[in-house]
Amino acid sequence: MSVSSSILRRISILSLLFVLLFSGAKAQEEPMPEFNDHESTDKKEFNASEVILHHVMDDHIWHLFDGHYGTIYLPVIVYSSEKGLDVFSSRNFYGEHHNVVEYNGYKLEHNHIYLADSNKAVFDLSITKNVAMLFINAALLVIVFLAVAKGYKKNKGKAPSGIQSFFEPIILFVRDEVVKPNIGHHYEKFFPYLLTLFFFILFGNLIGLLPGAGNLTGNIAVTLSLALLTFIITNVNGNKAYWSHIFWTPGVPLPLRLVILPVEIIGIFTKPISLTIRLFVAITAGHIVLLSLISLAFIFGSIWVGFGSSIIVLFISLIELLVAGIQAYVFTLFTSLYIGMAIADHDHH
Amino acid sequence: MELLTPGTGLIIWQLIVFVGLFFLLSKLAWKPIISSLKERETSIQEALSTAEKARLEMAQLKSDNEKLLKEAREERDVILRQAREASNRLKEDAQLDAKKSADKIIEEARAAINIEKQAALKEVRTQVALFSLEVAEKLMKKNLSDDKAQKELVESYVKEIKAN
């Protein structure tokens, strides 16, 4: 009897937790359509796809929760040949009732800033939500790894301790399982870049899962930039064998070489593109799945659906933690692989 | 479709921040971390190989020691055996000597006894001859007077001799 009653109690506590979780999510998600759809007459109408897309995309404001202090208005930095460089708060784009207004000859439409009179897009260097996330991520990396490096100075010749002993196995894993086997002897030149890449993506993925956080590593601009750096490093370091393989594949009959040439040239570009899309899709899809499950509760307007979807969300979140690690690993692995291919000696031909 | 179009501003920020982060972390974090890890690995490797060498040396020493011990034990056995043999030989020699000298003493004693016996017998024989001569003398002297008186005389002399 006592056992079953304690189980019952646990279940009731858990369900209470879920209800709280889901009501918290509600507070966070529900107002978003109001923001974008400020003109819509029925404010209670729920548009799941809009909420979700809004959540995974970049924005000039950072909406954390409802209320007067729940929104951070991020700085806008724009440049246009007509008006030069301008810096102002994105608060200026929002009127008294959160309606989008023109400011100083600029207007905000679907997160893009245009010149109000000519409708010409301006060069937008604003500190958007994802740029802010980027700064936070970079700051976090610097703080964490300076602390780790300090540990190595402090514990010189001794066993690692604290944060150092937490990150050391991960660093060693990246070195021994990812970088060394794929690049080979000359891995040390690329190791700092690959470590930065791995931890940037890992930390970005993880903090992106926090409630209210921006979808940094699930943004195609971010993944594209990372892939671009990998592309540059790979091709700058490509040796003679690498380029001869691309332009004049050895050991292949002449007519086939002409066929292979365009394929190889396309291959140079498909590598970074696959890196870009893989990370973007994996992280964004995860966010979309989580948000869709949470949205179910609002679509059905039922607390029980919310309860059920919250349980699923819990487990999907655990999977997302796994995905965060896997995607950081995969991006680093493929980067190492591409670098390894570019600097390998093809003596066997 | 906005989701799929990368924002130029974010690309620029991302490139600036990431490259900056790369240089900062490379200099301040990765460099000391990587070098410390390498240092530690080499020191561990060295310690392990030193330990292995020491272990081999120990084994070598131990086997040397055992060899020495074995040799010493064998030598001891040889020495003991030789000592035992020597002592046995000494004992036997001593016994033999003792027996020899005892035999000699007995022999000498026997010879001495014989000589004494011979001397004693000779003495007895001389005495008996002297007695006989005396008795004959006295008898002859007495015989001249009386047979009876001679007899008595002989007896008295014999008594005299006995008394002596």
- List, for residues A25-78, the tens digit of each pLDDT value: 444 444 444 344 444 444 457 788 888 888 888 888 888 887 777 888 889 999
pLDDT-derived band at A104, boundaries 50, 70, 90: confident
Q: Which residues of B touch A193 (CB under 8 A)?
A: 22, 26
| Contact indicator for A75, A128 with CB cutoff of 8 Å | no
Decide which of A260 and B150 is more confident.
Answer: A260
Token code pair at residue B11: 């690309």
Most A CBs within 10 Å: which of B3, B19, B42, as the mutation test of the A interface? B3
Cβ distance B17 to A135 less than 8 Å, yes or no, reads: yes
CB neighbourhood size of A116 (10 A): 14
Which residue of B10, B13, B29 is in closest CB contact with A149?
A: B29
Does residue B78 carry a pLDDT above 70?
Answer: yes
CB neighbourhood size of A95 (10 A): 12
Determine how β-strand A75-80 pairs with β-strand A106-109.
unpaired
> In angstroms, rounded to a whole number, what is the distance separating the alpha carbons of residues A144 and B108?
118
Q: Which residues of B touch A131 (CB under 8 A)?
A: 9-10, 13
Q: Which residues contact A126 (CB under 8 A, 6 or more apart)?
A: A60, A74, A75, A76, A77, A78, A90, A113, B9
* The residue count for chain A: 349
> In angstroms, rounded to a whole number, what is the distance separating the alpha carbons of residues B119 and A44?
168
| Contact indicator for A343, A238 with CB cutoff of 8 Å | yes
A9-23, A164-178, A188-202: which range is least confident on average? A9-23
Mean confidence (pLDDT) of chain A: 83
Decide which of A9 and A84 is more confident.
Answer: A84
| Contact indicator for A92, A103 with CB cutoff of 8 Å | yes
The predicted pLDDT at position B115 comes to: 93
pLDDT-derived band at B52, boundaries 50, 70, 90: very high
The predicted pLDDT at position A182 comes to: 92
CB neighbourhood size of A145 (10 A): 25
Which residue of A134, A220, A229 is in closest CB contact with B6?
A: A220
> In angstroms, rounded to a whole number, what is the distance separating the alpha carbons of residues A6 and A21?
22
Q: Which residues of A touch B32 (CB under 8 A)?
A: 149, 152-153
The predicted pLDDT at position A23 comes to: 43
Most A CBs within 10 Å: which of B31, B36, B37, B46, as the mutation test of the A interface? B36
Q: How far is A4 from chain B (nearest CA, A)?
A: 50
CA A76 vs CA A28, A63, A73, A103: distances in Å: 24, 16, 9, 11
Cβ distance B13 to A134 less than 8 Å, yes or no, reads: yes
Angle CA A201–A36–B11, to nearest 5:
30
Q: How far is B34 from chain A (nearest CA, A)?
A: 9
CB neighbourhood size of B158 (10 A): 12
The structural domains of chain B, with segments of one domain joined by +, span: 12-163
Token code pair at residue A245: 């393989």
The predicted pLDDT at position B87 comes to: 95
Taking only the tens place, the pLDDT of each residue in A216-261 is 999 999 999 999 999 999 999 988 888 888 887 777 788 888 888 8
> In angstroms, rounded to a whole number, what is the distance separating the alpha carbons of residues A78 and A124?
5
Which residue of B5, B10, B20 is in closest CB contact with A128?
A: B10
> In angstroms, rounded to a whole number, what is the distance separating the alpha carbons of residues A206 and A64?
17
Residue that is written with structure tokens 């008898």 in the block:
B139
A47-51, A177-181, A202-206: which range is least confident on average? A47-51
Cβ distance A157 to B34 less than 8 Å, yes or no, reads: no
Does residue A345 carry a pLDDT above 50?
Answer: yes
For A149, how many CA atoms within 13 A lie in the half-sphere containing its CB?
18
| Contact indicator for A79, A122 with CB cutoff of 8 Å | yes
Query: Which pTM does this prediction carry?
Result: 0.72
CB neighbourhood size of B85 (10 A): 10
Q: For A78, list phi and psi in degrees, rounded to 5.
A: -130, 150
Residues 17 through 76 of chain B touching chain A, CB cutoff 8 Å? 17-22, 24-26, 28-34, 36-37, 40, 43
